[in-house]
Structure formats: structure tokens, C-alpha cells
């Protein structure tokens, strides 16, 4: 007996000699055991005994239950039930109010995790007594009612996660009074109504997850957020305003309509995930989304997006999953989605040309045109709902009058019909009914098959790492020249292709989306082809700082050298219309004549 007493004294003495090894306050140890009792002594706390040293005895700790201390006070409490076994029924005498009263006796608590424990009842307002709380996770319980106003008094709270509960009511506007809240996740609850406009005033909020609730209406300004998950609600119809730092946007299973804001999304260079599947979007699909440098996951399935895809479209190097299924897309699937291994691409139930690949069935082209007309994507003259019956009667009378008038006009014109107009007039008349850019895109897309047959390289987006490797980190030896706008470098890609790289400084107000689109379409066997581009952007505000344009490297000199010659060591221009015409003919008609704005005759 005396030996045991001596052993205990030695243990206490050695503990006292440890730096900072102050025993846990007895009142806090009592509170921990009381929490275990209120939970009905769950198996997850089976290692907690009366002699347990919660602060400095590591033998009791498990991955599902442990305590962290600072000096003699508890700062972290983690109790996580088994999610596979389901929540264990709590004693019939359980009181959520008494549970949080006991928790409040841990005044230095900063991190609190209570998941899969079967907690039931409204979240008590006395949680405000834990003034030092920074992170709270009470997911997978049976909490119900509205969020308590007492949460707004937690000035240090940064993360609140209460997924998979039964919390209801509206998302409160007083959340803006929580100055440090950065993460708010209330997935799979019973929240309803519209979101408060005060969300845009929460400058510290970075992640907002409200998926699988009963929310409705338009989203407020979300320019400060980096992670947005609003899936499976009834939100819409307007697409929200996003900031340039956004990394993930999930709006699947809502009621968003109209079109995607292409210009806004094109500037989201940090966007990694975009899921707008299962909505009511219409209008053209912005193919530029495929080439965003950080994009990894893109899903637009189950909408009514239209447009003709080009096999020559470029893709970002990080793109791994694309779902274009169940839309009204036509044309050809971009080659960059099919060529690279490791990509998962779904595109069934469109009107795409699959080049013999029948693994994902497609509709015939007329189907997409008819569906587009049915949802009003192609402009057509409609009638207002008011006065519909009167409109039908008036329409019948009007149709009868038009039939008679048309017969008379046909007879008169037949008798004095002039010569048929040239076919050129048909194109001019057609261009007045459709936007000029639509016809231009159609003409461009019709050439993509020819360009592929000519062996012209595809246009794609490059990473800065690729360009640095190609130029040996932009060494001076690779510099070909420079001007006020930037530098020109010579390099070699990893596949051995020699290239020239144009580096351009970018102002914050400049937008190069249209310029890059135009450059990517300038494809001809007698023109130096643009191989792609690369953006370098500021990680702090995600603004573009440099634009790199990658071109083929041509070994045959420049145009000036080709149309001039040296005499006595001095360059002399080749003059005379005949010489110039002869030179152009020798170059394969690659440059139009400027002498009289006509192409020279080649014999």
C-alpha cells in the first residue's frame, strides 16, 4: 500500500515538473463527465473514466472523441457518433437546454464538434455564453426551429456547420452582425423563403452552403463568396452576380432561367467547379467556359442551351468532367474533349455530330430547331394572353382577307414579273432577319472540317508552366525583340514544336475575350497560325496581369525580306506592278493586292 502511494506521489511530482502541465480544473472535468451522462453514456465515450487526464493523458483519445486544453482549461471538444450505425436514441429525460447549460461551464471553448449524436430540440440561445467559440459543427442531429439570435453575440465565430438537421424558418438577416463568419453551411434542412439582401454586406463570408432546403426567389449579390452551393431549392430566375475569386458554384436543381452571363463568367479565372444542371436555362452555351484555366468540373445537363459547337474549340488543361447532356446543342463535339485521356465527357440527348460514335444517342437536327422554337429561343412574333379569344376571331377574318389579297397580287405580279434577282440578294435579305455574328459564326464553323484536312494546328489554352519550360523561364537568350507593349520570345514546346510567344502587359480595364476569339478563328494555310494563349493573373485579386499569345515559328523571314532584295549590300524594294504581282502569284495568293484593291491575275 505504501508503495502505491509513493508511485502516485512520484507521478504527481513528475506532472508538476512538465512545462505548462497544469491539471484540468475540477469543475471542467466534472462538466465533461456530466455531458457523458446527459448523452446516456454512449459507446463513443467509453474510454472516459473517473481517473482520465483529459488534457495530458493521451490514452483515452480516439478519432471520434477527444479534448484539447490550454493550460488548465478545455479549448476543444470533439464528440462524433458513428455515421454508419445511425444516431443512438438519447434518454427520454434528455434536455437540449440542460446540455448547453453544462457546455457553458467550459468558458474557454473555441472548437465544438457534436455530430451524429441524436441531439434533438431547438438550438438554445444560451450558446451565446460560449463567447470564445470560433468553430461549431452540430451536423447530423435532430435540431429544429429557427437559428437562435444568440449566435449573433458570438463575435469570434468563424465557422458554423449544421448540415442534415431540421432547422426551419428564414435565413435571418442578423447574420450580418457576425463580423468574422467565413463559413456558413446549413445543407439539408427545412429553411424556406428568400435570402436576405444583407448577405452582400457580410464581407468576411467566403463559403455559403444552403443546398437541399426550400429556398426561393433571386439570390442577392454574392461577389465576396468563393464557394457557393445552392443546389436543390427553388431559386431563380436571375443568375446571381459573382466575384472574380469564386472557385465553386453549384446551382443544380433550381428554377434559374434566361441565359448564362458569358462576360462575367469569362473573367472567373479561379473557377474550378460550375454545376447549373437541372434548371431552365436557355440561349447560347458559352463555349469559353471550357477554356477557363482552373475549370475542372462543368455540368450544364438538363437545360435548353442552344448553339453550334466547334470541333476546334479549346479546353483548359485542368478540365476533367464535362456533362452537356439533354440540351439543344448542334455541331461537333470539341476535339479537346475527346483527345485527352482521363476526361469524363457526357453529351447524349443533343443534336451533335458524333462521327460514328453511337455510345451516346443524339436527336436529329430538326428536333433541336423545333424545341428551340417551342421555348421561344429563336425570336418569333407571339400574342399576349389578354384578349386571346378576340384575337382568334380577328385572326380568322384577317386570314380570309389575306388569302383574297394574295391571290390578286399573285395574278398581277405574274403578268408583269421582272427578271429574277441574283442569288446574292437572298443572302442580303437573310442577313436582315438574323444577327450578323450568327451568320459569321456559321460560316466559320462550316470551315473547321476543311481546316482539319489541311493540317492546321488546333487552338488551345496553355499553362504558364508550359511556356516557362518552352523558353527556359523566359531567358534573355530566347528574347527576339520587344516594344512598348511587351516582348517576343522564341521557344520550343514539350512535343518539339518551335513557337514564338508574344508577352503583353494587361491593364485592369482591358478585356481580351473577343480579341482572343478573333485570333483563334484566323486559320489559313498561308497564315502564321495562333496555337493558343495563356493568362497570368494576380492571386490576390485574380486580375489578369499578362497575356501570352503563342504562334507558329516561321523560319522563312518576314514579309519585308520576301519582297525586297539587296544590291551592293543595301536593301532595295522590288518596285513595279508586274514584279509585285509575280511575287504574289509565287507566294500562293496569300496576300490581297493593294495597288487597285483587286487580286492580281496569275498565269
Residue 592: what pLDDT? 44
C-beta atoms surrounding 532 within 10 Å: 23
Q: How far apart are CA 216 and CA 232, in angstroms?
A: 10
Nearest to 228 by CA among 216, 204, 211: 211
Residue 465: what pLDDT? 83
C-beta atoms surrounding 287 within 10 Å: 19
The DSSP call for residue 445 is H
Cell of 374: 417551342
The DSSP call for residue 172 is P
Mean pLDDT over the full length of the chain = 78
Cell of 257: 432561367
Cell of 264: 462575367
Count Cβ atoms within 10 A of the Cβ of residue 409 and give its class: 0-12 exposed, 13-18 middle, 19 or more buried.
exposed
Count Cβ atoms within 10 A of the Cβ of residue 567 and give its class: 0-12 exposed, 13-18 middle, 19 or more buried.
exposed
Go through the domains of the chain in sequence order and give each one's CATH number: 236-377 (3.80.10.10), 460-555 (3.30.200.20), 556-603 (no CATH)
Count Cβ atoms within 10 A of the Cβ of residue 566 and give its class: 0-12 exposed, 13-18 middle, 19 or more buried.
exposed
Cell of 300: 450544364
Cell of 458: 488546333
Cis peptide leading into residue 237 (ω within 30°): yes
The DSSP call for residue 242 is B
Residue 595: what pLDDT? 38
In sign, the C-alpha dihedral spanning 476, 481, 486, 491 is negative
What secondary structure does DSSP assign to 311-329, as a single string? TT----TT--EEE--SS--
pLDDT tens string 517-541: 777 777 776 778 888 888 886 655 5
Residues of the chain with pLDDT under 70: 1-21, 86-87, 339-340, 355-359, 374-456, 508-514, 525, 537-542, 556-603
Q: How far apart are CA 589 and CA 583, in angstroms?
A: 9
Q: What is the total residue count of the chain? A: 603
pLDDT tens string 112-150: 999 999 999 999 999 999 999 999 999 999 999 999 999
Q: Report the DSSP beta bridge partners of residue 598.
A: none
Cell of 231: 443546389
Cell of 37: 451522462
Cell of 80: 462524433
Whole-number Cα distances in Å, 301 to 234, 279, 358: 17, 9, 19
Backbone region of residue 534 per phi and psi (left: phi > 0; alpha: psi in -120 to 50; beta: other values): beta
Q: What angle do CA 216, 221, 225 make, to 5 degrees?
A: 100
Nearest to 241 by CA among 214, 222, 218: 222
Residue 190: what pLDDT? 96
Q: Report the DSSP beta bridge partners of residue 565.
A: 572
Element housing 188 (H / E): none
Cell of 267: 473573367
- Does the pTM surpass 0.75? The reply is no
Q: Is 433 helix (H, G, I), strand (E, B) or coil?
A: helix
Cell of 512: 481580351
Nearest to 45 by CA among 65, 69, 30: 65
Q: Which residue has the cell 455530430?
A: 115
Q: How far apart are CA 357 and CA 332, in angstroms?
A: 12
Amino acid at each position: 500500500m505504501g508503495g502505491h502511494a509513493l508511485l502516485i506521489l512520484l507521478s504527481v511530482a513528475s506532472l508538476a515538473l512538465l512545462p505548462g502541465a497544469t491539471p484540468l480544473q475540477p469543475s471542467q472535468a466534472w462538466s465533461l463527465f456530466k455531458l457523458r451522462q446527459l448523452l446516456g453514456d454512449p459507446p463513443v465515450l467509453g474510454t472516459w473514466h473517473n481517473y482520465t487526464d483529459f488534457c495530458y493523458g493521451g490514452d483515452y483519445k480516439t478519432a471520434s472523441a477527444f479534448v484539447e486544453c490550454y493550460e488548465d482549461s478545455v479549448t476543444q471538444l470533439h464528440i462524433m457518433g458513428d455515421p454508419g450505425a445511425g444516431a443512438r436514441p438519447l434518454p427520454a429525460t434528455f434536455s437540449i437546454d440542460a446540455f448547453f447549460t453544462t457546455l457553458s461551464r467550459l468558458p474557454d471553448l473555441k472548437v465544438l464538434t457534436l455530430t451524429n449524436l441524436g441531439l434533438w430540440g431547438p438550438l438554445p440561445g444560451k450558446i451565446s455564453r460560449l463567447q470564445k467559440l470560433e468553430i461549431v459543427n452540430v451536423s447530423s442531429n435532430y435540431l429544429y426551429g429557427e437559428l437562435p439570435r444568440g449566435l449573433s453575440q458570438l463575435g469570434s465565430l468563424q465557422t458554423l456547420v449544421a448540415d442534415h438537421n431540421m432547422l426551419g424558418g428564414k435565413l435571418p438577416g442578423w447574420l450580418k452582425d457576425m463580423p468574422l463568419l467565413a463559413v456558413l453551411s446549413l445543407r439539408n434542412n427545412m429553411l424556406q423563403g428568400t435570402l436576405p439582401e444583407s448577405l452582400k454586406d457580410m464581407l468576411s463570408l467566403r463559403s455559403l452552403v444552403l443546398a437541399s432546403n426550400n429556398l426561393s426567389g433571386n439570390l442577392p449579390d454574392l461577389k465576396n463568396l468563393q464557394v457557393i452551393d445552392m443546389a436543390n431549392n427553388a431559386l431563380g430566375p436571375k443568375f446571381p452576380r459573382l466575384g472574380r475569386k469564386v472557385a465553386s458554384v453549384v446551382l443544380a436543381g433550381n428554377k434559374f432561367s434566361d441565359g448564362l452571363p458569358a462576360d462575367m463568367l469569362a473573367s472567373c479565372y479561379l473557377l474550378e467547379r460550375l454545376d447549373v444542371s437541372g434548371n431552365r436555362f436557355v440561349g447560347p452555351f458559352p463555349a469559353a467556359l471550357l477554356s477557363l484555366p482552373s475549370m475542372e468540373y462543368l455540368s450544364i445537363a438538363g437545360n435548353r442551351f442552344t448553339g453550334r459547337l466547334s470541333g476546334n474549340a479549346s479546353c483548359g488543361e485542368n478540365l476533367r468532367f464535362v456533362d452537356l447532356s439533354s440540351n439543344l446543342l448542334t455541331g461537333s463535339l470539341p476535339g479537346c474533349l475527346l483527345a485527352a485521356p482521363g476526361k469524363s465527357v457526357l453529351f447524349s440527348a443533343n443534336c451533335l455530330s458524333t462521327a460514328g460514335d453511337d455510345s451516346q444517342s443524339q436527336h436529329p437536327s430538326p428536333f433541336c430547331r423545333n424545341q428551340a422554337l417551342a421555348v421561344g429561343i429563336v425570336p418569333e412574333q407571339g400574342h399576349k394572353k389578354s384578349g386571346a379569344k378576340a384575337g382568334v376571331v380577328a385572326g380568322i377574318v384577317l386570314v380570309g382577307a389575306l388569302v383574297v389579297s394574295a391571290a390578286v397580287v399573285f395574278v398581277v405580279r405574274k403578268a408583269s414579273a421582272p427578271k429574277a434577282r441574283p442569288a446574292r440578294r437572298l443572302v442580303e435579305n437573310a442577313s436582315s432577319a438574323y444577327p450578323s455574328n450568327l451568320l459569321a459564326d456559321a460560316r466559320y464553323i462550316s470551315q473547321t472540317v476543311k481546316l482539319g484536312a489541311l493540317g492546321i494546328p488546333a487552338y488551345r489554352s496553355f499553362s504558364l508552366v508550359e511556356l516557362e519550360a518552352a523558353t527556359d523561364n523566359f531567358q534573355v537568350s530566347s528574347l527576339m525583340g520587344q516594344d512598348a507593349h511587351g516582348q517576343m520570345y522564341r521557344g520550343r514546346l514539350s512535343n518539339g514544336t518551335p513557337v514564338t510567344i508574344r508577352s503583353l502587359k494587361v491593364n485592369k480595364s482591358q478585356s481580351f475575350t473577343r480579341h482572343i476569339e478573333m485570333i483563334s478563328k484566323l486559320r489559313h494555310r498561308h497564315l502564321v497560325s495562333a496555337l493558343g494563349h495563356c493568362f497570368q493573373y494576380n492571386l490576390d485579386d485574380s486580375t489578369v496581369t499578362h497575356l501570352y499569345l503563342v504562334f507558329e515559328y516561321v523560319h522563312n523571314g518576314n514579309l519585308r525580306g520576301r519582297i525586297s532584295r539587296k544590291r551592293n549590300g543595301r536593301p532595295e524594294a522590288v518596285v513595279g506592278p508586274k514584279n509585285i504581282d509575280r511575287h504574289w502569284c509565287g507566294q500562293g495568293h496569300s496576300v490581297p493586292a493593294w495597288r487597285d484593291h483587286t487580286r492580281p491575275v496569275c498565269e
